[in-house]
Structure 1
Amino acid sequence: MILAANAAVGVITETNAEKALEELRAYQADVATVLRNGCFSILPATELVPGDIVEVGVGCKVPADMRMVEMLSHQLRVDQAILTGESCSVAKELDSTSAMNAVYQDKTNILFSGTVVVAGRARAVVIGVGSNTAMGSIRDAMLRTEDEATPLKKKLDEFGTFLAKVIAGICILVWVVNIGHFRDPSHGGFLRGAIHYFKVAVALAVAAIPEGLPAVVTTCLALGTKRMARLNAIVRSLPSVETLGCTTVICSDKTGTLTTNMMSVSKVCVVRSVHQRPITDEYSISGTTFAPDGFIYDAGELQLEFPPQSPCLLHIAMCSALCNESTLQYNPDKKSYEKIGESTEVALRVLVEKVGLPGFDSMPSALNMLSKHERASYCNHYWENQFRKISVLDFSRDRKMMSVLCSRKQQEIMFSKGAPESVMARCTHILCNHDGSSVPLTMDIRNELEARFQSFAGKDTLRCLALALKRMPEGQQSLSYEDETNLTFIGLVGMLDPPREEVCDAVQSCMSAGIRVIVVTGDNKSTAESLCRQIGAFEHLDDFTGYSYTASEFEGLPPLERANALRRMVLFSRVEPSHKKMLVEALQSQNEVVAMTGDGVNDAPALKKADIGIAMGSGTAVAKSASDMVLADDNFATIVAAVAEGRAIYNNTKQFIRYMISSNIGEVVCIFVAAVLGMPDTLVPVQLLWVNLVTDGLPATAIGFNKPDGNIMTVKPRKVNEAVVSGWLFFRYLVIGAYVGLATIAGFVWWFVYSENGPRLPYSELVNFDSCSTRQTSYSCSIFEDRHPSTVSMTVLVVVEMFNALNNLSENQSLLVIHPWSNLWLVGSIILTMLLHMSVLYMEPLSALFSVSPLSLAEWKVVLYLSFPVILIDEVLKFFSRSSRARLSPLRLWRREILPKEARDN
């Protein structure tokens, strides 16, 4: 029944996980606009074949791998994040690349299946469908990767094999030792004697085998998945819960995991005045997501109470709202703000909302009263209602800018945005933040702005845009490239895909726990290094040489240097899908336990190969199907919390294994000693089964609820080849087990020799019970079939195991430190177990089924006297464990300090 119940728990848990994943998989457009029979029509994407001409536009999912054949707009930009991992969209063109081994990012004339068009329209010819696409080949590589057993499963299998051999040896030994008793008259012949002691050996096997262990392990892992689900970690594979606990390296995707995958304006630079020399104002903008919440701070880190009072900030908001083709909206299902279109433009939309509107001194309180749907674009809509958009000059690669012509009260203004070098080259004036006046752009001012731009783009690795405007002749209704001259510079905007706020602390927690974090990204090296510096991955390093590698640099290293590089690597940039899988395999060859995170199709093979693959909740279906765990909140910090949970689960697993094995050793000692001494059966097989499955199983399951130790994330991960049961731990099993067995036998002997309700036999009569029928005795030989002695021994076994369960609240901490009520589930399971045992003792027909009888008060006192010392014995063993650790810790630290740094790193 327990096996069935626990199997049901496991099935329900994994079913719930799969159901949650199905809800996360609601993505992918299934249709395409295809040229058929001389006209374009919408057909299912599954009907596409190579050679079809397909038209794509803004918002379209690319239905197949296609080569560009016709551009229907000035530009076409595609978001390839699910394939390459890069958050910035890629500009596509008709010309093919000349590079022989071009990576996906460089194939600018190819549209890849599953990617999204964020700007422009084009037509392309289908060159690959299904498994013949870039994503299809990645999926095939993932399917060719075989699953491997988790560390816990390997060690439990090894321990099970060892336990089986020991049990078999003991059973054979018991049978062989009693060969001389086969001919005892009580057995009725040699053959019957042999069969009798064969039954004893079977009873011994029943006692030794922890029948409830598989069920308890499954239940503990299932309970772990429930706790992880509360942390937003959905576990797809129960064994992977424990694997997190021994993880030594986390290979984390940058975009969307360490960062928000939401471009955000972080800095703005404008010119304040130019009286004697150019003076600039630099503003910092808070907020790391698309949520229109945040504040603007000046260079002194003072918050601006009313940003629209700054003429340049007001014009930046105006230009950002009007020179923009993307949209910010609120998704009530996901309860978050999301983009429609280009990330860069949406970042500008968010900036507009943070700057606010002119003339509203109480605007923040007024905005707080809006619904989230209205708040998403309230300020943007204000500017769009103030101006009428007349004409648009789309972005082009040669100009590196776009412009819009707007009209307001019969006044025409052109707003422009683009690469700083392109926009500034077309500017002749600047807007002063001091008074809103327009003054000529001198060389000194230009040099100052150039220096600011270099600072933004260099040290801060921000993606920079320059904003400008130009007053146009009244009545102008169109724009041409010639109009993009004599512009007035408004300001410089720096944006980035910012790190999540909680990532820094999570990375530090990993370092404290002895877990390396390797950032893996398709982004360029300088951008990725800047992120690593922000999140503390490089700690206090100034020189990243030997810690940061691009994929091509790493592949070019000799084998020995590559092995050394793996031990120090912090950043792996400009990677392709094959590089990620190669990295996982290389780390595993160094006996590292690797967790790999990812969200795109490009991550799937590496997720499959890793010891534990972690997919993002917003990721692709392919990535989720390859993973062992899914982060519903796409948050790296959730991984760290899950690692702590995994370590706690492993510790609790060791505790209930210790509890169950020491209890089973006690049963083995009881039966073995009784058989060797020639005493009657102290316990019958049905009693042993009851103890093993029910009275053992409930407390063992409850031990899985033990609270984690306070230092769980300050110790190093256990080694992958570390045994579940160490030599010292096995010695503790034997000591506790020996006492459990001897206490059980003592209760049996007490009833026969000392109990007022017993026969008070001499000890010699008890150990020679099998010759009772051949001797003259003052008692009936049927006394050896009485239920009372086995009832006393069974009750001693149950109660001593309940006390032993309390011992397993912690491996080394005293019960004076960790009180029983720290795990109320364990206290409840002990109470329930005792109630079940009482029902067996005092209720028919259960007492007859288990061959027991009720106990008197005096007998209960003896049971408690024999049972309680197990706590005192384990307290002594815990004291020795703590003392040995205290002595070894300084020695280990000293030995580590005298080693060379290279050896310590290894």
Structure 2
Amino acid sequence: MTTKSFSAGLTDEQVLESRRVHGDNVLTPAARESLFRKFLHKFQDQLIIILLVAATLSILVACYEFFVLDFGVSIFFEPLGIVIAILLATGLAFYFEVRAEREFAVLTQVNDDIPVRVVRNGHNLSVPRRDIVVGDFVLLDTGDDIPADGTLLSANSLKVDESTLTGEPICSKTTHTKLFDAEATFPSNRVLRGTKVMEGNGSFLVEAVGDHTENGRVFRAAQIDNGKQTPLSRQLDKLSVLVSRASYVLAALILVGRMVEYFLSAPPTFNWVLFAGYLLSSIMIAVTIIVVAVPEGLPMAVTLSLAYSMRRLLKANNLVRRLHACETMGATTVICTDKTGTLTENRMRVAHAEVLAEACFAEALAVNSTATLDDTDTDHIEVLGNPTEGALLLWLSEQHHDYEALRSAAAVVDQIPFSTERKYMATLVQSSVDGQWHIYLKGASEILFHFCPLLDDTHQKEILKTLFSYQQRAFRTLGFVDIAFSSQAVAEAELSALRQSGTLASPDAATLNSTFQGYVAISDPVRAEVPAAIRCCLDAGIGVKIVTGDTLGTAREIGRQVGICSDADSAQAFITGPEFAALSDEELIERVGELKVIARARPMDKKRLVEALQKRGEVVAVTGDGTNDAPALKAAHVGLSMGDGTSVAKEASDITIIDNSFSSIVNAVMWGRSLYKNIQRFILFQLTVNVAACLIVLIGSFMGTQSPLTVTQMLWVNLIMDSFAAVALASLPPSADVMKERPRAREAFIITPAMRWNILLTGFAFTGILLVALYVLKHFYVYSLCSLPESFSLVRATGGNLLSDYELSLFFTFFVLLQFWNLFNARSFATSQVWPRLRGCRGFFLIASFILLGQVLIVSFGGSLFSVSPLSLSDWLLLLAATSVVLWVGVALRAVWKS
């Protein structure tokens, strides 16, 4: 190791100048497709192509009628209406797709906002990675992502994972030229953006940022893959195929029915021109039925639901990185969670300290550490680096010791960083207290006892008993040993032996000078909101398992405090990393359902746990914050990284939990389940409309009258009951009721038996009601609903099939209002609400109001374009009152069902 270089770092003025000359530390994003091209892609949809063909045919027919048969300009209204409907459909889909992409734009900031420790203006600071500039003095510690390219100024047992650039997982880094690896891809004293510190610590001078780094030259900006097919999308594809085939059959039946009706009522002299016009008109109706029936709004409903959920989840501290995660979280059956920072506050503090030898204890805590404190805000001192070491520095401050002064006074010569294999950290210094050479050890007390042979067994057992009691109460314990030497050469030789073999070279020589300095208990309290969140998960049928590197006693106690474990649990519910590794795959799959806590877990243990659970058919979500968690995060159905985790963990994850809290994970589950429910409500509503619309046009074509719904009317119905309803139902807020249900089967068909019966019964009921209305309109002249009794005396003459525009307006409005009130029933489907709750549903209420207003405007001003004429105010009020029975019946049925 080299002697640590101290630097005041850059001043604020130098930072600004460096940023002006060398730029920001961000990668330029890849060129995006133009908005115009995105809009053109909307016309590649199969259903839009069908509409374009239909519009083309309609325009040709209208041109023939206008130029050859001398019809008025009004015959262009119908094809114009189709074109408008196409533009609306593609425009809305385009708008919401762009809006969804904007939801993802924030993701590019995730990695750029990772905090980095630097020295500026003589202070240790934590700044976002994007703010690093050329010339910065950056401090590195185990687990850190290297934010830019630069040359090392100091290196202490530094090992870096350069696999993102070279494929080499471990590369030793040093400032000693004699130790340089001549065959290394990059110089041994150079560190690169995008690589990770796997072990040790150090510092470096930034020489390249952003696009000028090796990472910037090799990689393009990361692009989020939101095209992954999920269980939900597969279900929707099956549903679309099913409904599409049914619509083709209906369209064929309508075409046959209208042809039969034409030939039965045709005049003796056959007119090919009239027949061609009638045939084209029938084809238009058949094509429109396909457009109405096919659920082309489903993809948009899913996109809207996901975009809305993503935006709201961000407010709930869940930054969704991949589109499918919103949906999959709703199907989660098991959550494998970290302990520290997720279940606990990650605010390490010394709760108990037993100092047995005070002489060099404060110095040992100060120098045998890689952490620092950011005290720029005196009201909130922030720990930079290892939180456990930070807790020791905070304790020193509470004991009125200045750790920075202690570090400056002592001459640090060499250091062995902490590792899970070694279980201790060692630092060689020349003490400012007595001038001697000391190796300060810090780590697991049971390991450190080996370096204190004069500490009698009785005393050791008492200490271990005390430490065990602390661990049972979820405290983290550390012991401290001081080994003094009179010679620097001897001290360096002993440290070298300790680094290589884990033992001292001459333990006898050091025996008389070794002292067990004391021990501390450090607490990380459980987050206040976690027990309630865990209970919510368990009530929702979601299993929760703790995977931690802590001791079994600590992990078990935390599990008990949060409600995962209880005294009734058998030994099969708990396991340590070595025991876990010893299980065969078959044994693990058999036992994994019972496991609640895995303590002393190693990196690959979590990934193996995830895979075993998946083999049992579980849908697994995993939390992780470190580089070593990346394999498990990638393997899980949903990976959940922590807001203060490494960029590797975040890159491997699907969702980033900004506040690190388990309660935010529960929010993600609730939103995922609610999202699925909202999509089900939209399907329920749309298919009910489709059943009624298709059946009424089909039966109407066999009743010997013109289609009761014109092409433009059906396109308006398709627009409001597809696109607008998708917006209304997709924006519904989540309901806590969904957390009282068991997780849905991942491959379960999206239409449940309850939905199927609701669609069929409501659709047939609407069809029956509409057929009665159509029968009345066909056989009697109706000119006002207020005078309906008088209309029964005005029997339509035989063969008088054509309905007046006023009668078409009545039927059209009657149909739309039935669906309008049913929208409120769909909103209440699968909830505990008897009456549709509108609180918190501003978007739903506004869109429902817009649908009603749009119907009023179309009927009042649509004229020839929609084959309608204005209705009187009294007719509007009667139609609203009569059709509202749909809502009252729904309320009554829900009340009966609830009781």
| TM-score with structure 2 setting the length | 0.67
Does residue 185 in structure 1 map to residue 266 in structure 2? yes
Q: Quick one: distance in 2 between partners of 1:549 and 1:454?
A: 17
Q: Quick one: distance in 2 between partners of 1:697 and 1:662?
A: 15
Corresponding residue of 2:99? 12
Does residue 418 in structure 1 map to residue 445 in structure 2? no
Equivalent of residue 217 in structure 1, options 286, 295, 302? 302
Code of the residue aligned with 1:730 in structure 2: it is: R
**Superposition map of 1:267-666 within 5 A:** 267-269=352-354, 320-321=365-366, 324=369, 326-329=371-374, 337-340=382-385, 343-353=387-397, 355=398, 357=400, 380-381=401-402, 389-392=409-412, 402=427, 418-419=442-443, 420=445, 448-456=462-470, 460=474, 462-466=476-480, 491-495=518-522, 500-521=527-548, 528-529=555-556, 531-545=558-572, 547-548=574-575, 550=577, 553=580, 556-557=583-584, 559=586, 561-572=587-598, 580-666=606-692
- SS state of the match for residue 734, structure 2? coil
Deviations 1:470-500 (A, max 9, x none): 9x99xx9x99988995688764212366655
Contact 1:24 1:618 in 2 (8 A): no
Deviations 1:331-364 (A, max 9, x none): 99xx983424x554322112234x354xxxxxxx
Code of the residue aligned with 1:801 in structure 2: it is: Q
Contact 2:814 2:883 in 1 (8 A): yes
Q: Does the C-alpha gap of structure 1 residues 442 and 338 become closer, same or farther in structure 2, counting only changes over 3 Å? A: closer
Deviations 1:481-520 (A, max 9, x none): 8899568876421236665554443333221211112334
Corresponding residue of 1:726? 752
Corresponding residue of 1:786? 804
Corresponding residue of 1:828? 846
- Residue 245 (structure 1) shift: 1.0
Q: Does the C-alpha gap of structure 1 residues 222 and 396 become closer, same or farther in structure 2, counting only changes over 3 Å? A: closer
**RMSD, aligned α-carbons:** 5.2
Corresponding residue of 1:241? 326
Code of the residue aligned with 2:409 in structure 1: it is: K
Does residue 852 in structure 1 map to residue 896 in structure 2? no
Q: Does the C-alpha gap of structure 1 residues 689 and 576 become closer, same or farther in structure 2, counting only changes over 3 Å? A: farther
Corresponding residue of 1:368? none
Q: Quick one: distance in 2 between partners of 1:533 and 1:82?
A: 40
Contact 2:100 2:304 in 1 (8 A): no
Q: Quick one: distance in 2 between partners of 1:577 and 1:792?
A: 69
Corresponding residue of 1:867? 883
Q: Does the C-alpha gap of structure 1 residues 527 and 837 become closer, same or farther in structure 2, counting only changes over 3 Å? A: same
Alignment size in residue pairs: 717
Contact 2:832 2:898 in 1 (8 A): no
Does residue 709 in structure 1 map to residue 735 in structure 2? yes
Contact 1:669 1:742 in 2 (8 A): no
- SS state of the match for residue 593, structure 2? helix
- Residue 239 (structure 1) shift: 3.4
Contact 2:344 2:525 in 1 (8 A): yes
Deviations 1:684-742 (A, max 9, x none): 11111112213553344222333433432222111123222122321211222233334
Contact 1:790 1:852 in 2 (8 A): yes
- Residue 248 (structure 1) shift: 1.0
Contact 2:689 2:721 in 1 (8 A): no
- SS state of the match for residue 409, structure 2? strand
Query: Which sits farther off after the overlay, 419-428 or 873-882?
Result: 419-428
Contact 2:226 2:324 in 1 (8 A): no
Deviations 1:96-144 (A, max 9, x none): xxxxxxxxxxxxxxx996225545799xxxxxxxxxxxxxxxx9xx99x
- Residue 387 (structure 1) shift: 9.6
Q: Quick one: distance in 2 between partners of 1:178 and 1:79?
A: 76
Equivalent of residue 696 in structure 2, options 670, 686, 691? 670
- Residue 655 (structure 1) shift: 1.5
Q: Quick one: distance in 1 between partners of 2:746 and 2:510?
A: 67
- SS state of the match for residue 621, structure 2? strand
Contact 1:153 1:239 in 2 (8 A): no
Does residue 157 in structure 1 map to residue 173 in structure 2? no
Q: Quick one: distance in 2 between partners of 1:573 and 1:685?
A: 67
Code of the residue aligned with 2:384 in structure 1: it is: K
Code of the residue aligned with 1:237 in structure 2: it is: R
Q: Quick one: distance in 1 between partners of 2:647 and 2:323?
A: 20
Code of the residue aligned with 1:627 in structure 2: it is: S
- Residue 876 (structure 1) shift: 4.4
Q: Quick one: distance in 2 between partners of 1:814 and 1:558?
A: 44
Q: Quick one: distance in 2 between partners of 1:200 and 1:228?
A: 43
Corresponding residue of 2:251? 171
Code of the residue aligned with 1:233 in structure 2: it is: N
Code of the residue aligned with 2:674 in structure 1: it is: A
Q: Quick one: distance in 1 between partners of 2:737 and 2:303?
A: 26
- Residue 197 (structure 1) shift: 4.2
Deviations 1:852-885 (A, max 9, x none): 22111232234224311211332344346446xx
Does residue 735 in structure 1 map to residue 780 in structure 2? no
Q: Quick one: distance in 2 between partners of 1:786 and 1:192?
A: 20
Contact 1:406 1:414 in 2 (8 A): yes
Contact 1:233 1:632 in 2 (8 A): yes
Q: Quick one: distance in 1 between partners of 2:647 and 2:450?
A: 46
Code of the residue aligned with 1:869 in structure 2: it is: V
Contact 1:400 1:418 in 2 (8 A): yes
- Give the unaligned 5+ runs of structure 1: 30-55, 65-71, 84-88, 94-110, 123-138, 272-310, 358-379, 430-440, 773-780, 884-906
Q: Quick one: distance in 1 between partners of 2:436 and 2:600?
A: 45
Code of the residue aligned with 2:519 in structure 1: it is: L
Aligned-residue identity in percent: 26
Q: Quick one: distance in 2 between partners of 1:866 and 1:488?
A: 91
Q: Quick one: distance in 2 between partners of 1:467 and 1:609?
A: 41
- Residue 24 (structure 1) shift: 2.5
- SS state of the match for residue 159, structure 1? helix
- SS state of the match for residue 809, structure 1? helix
- SS state of the match for residue 567, structure 1? coil
Q: Does the C-alpha gap of structure 1 residues 763 and 688 become closer, same or farther in structure 2, counting only changes over 3 Å? A: farther
- SS state of the match for residue 115, structure 1? strand
Corresponding residue of 2:42? none
Deviations 1:538-576 (A, max 9, x none): 3444533255364774664363x4432232233456666
Q: Quick one: distance in 1 between partners of 2:588 and 2:581?
A: 7
- Residue 460 (structure 1) shift: 4.9
Code of the residue aligned with 1:868 in structure 2: it is: S
Contact 1:14 1:238 in 2 (8 A): no
Contact 2:310 2:326 in 1 (8 A): yes
Deviations 1:17-69 (A, max 9, x none): 3433434245699xxxxxxxxxxxxxxxxxxxxxxxxxx996599999xxxxx
Contact 1:682 1:789 in 2 (8 A): no
- SS state of the match for residue 323, structure 2? coil
- Residue 643 (structure 1) shift: 0.5
- Residue 226 (structure 1) shift: 0.8
Contact 2:161 2:198 in 1 (8 A): yes
Q: Quick one: distance in 1 between partners of 2:427 and 2:511?
A: 9
Q: Quick one: distance in 2 between partners of 1:733 and 1:708?
A: 23
Q: Quick one: distance in 2 between partners of 1:659 and 1:516?
A: 34
Q: Quick one: distance in 2 between partners of 1:732 and 1:387?
A: 74
Does residue 115 in structure 1 map to residue 197 in structure 2? yes
Q: Does the C-alpha gap of structure 1 residues 76 and 667 become closer, same or farther in structure 2, counting only changes over 3 Å? A: same
Code of the residue aligned with 1:337 in structure 2: it is: E
Contact 1:245 1:647 in 2 (8 A): yes
Deviations 1:646-673 (A, max 9, x none): 1111112211221222122221232123
- Residue 242 (structure 1) shift: 1.8
Q: Quick one: distance in 2 between partners of 1:614 and 1:234?
A: 10
Q: Quick one: distance in 2 between partners of 1:700 and 1:426?
A: 70
Deviations 1:282-322 (A, max 9, x none): xxxxxxxxxxxxxxxxxxxxxxxxxxxxx98x996676346
Code of the residue aligned with 1:848 in structure 2: it is: S
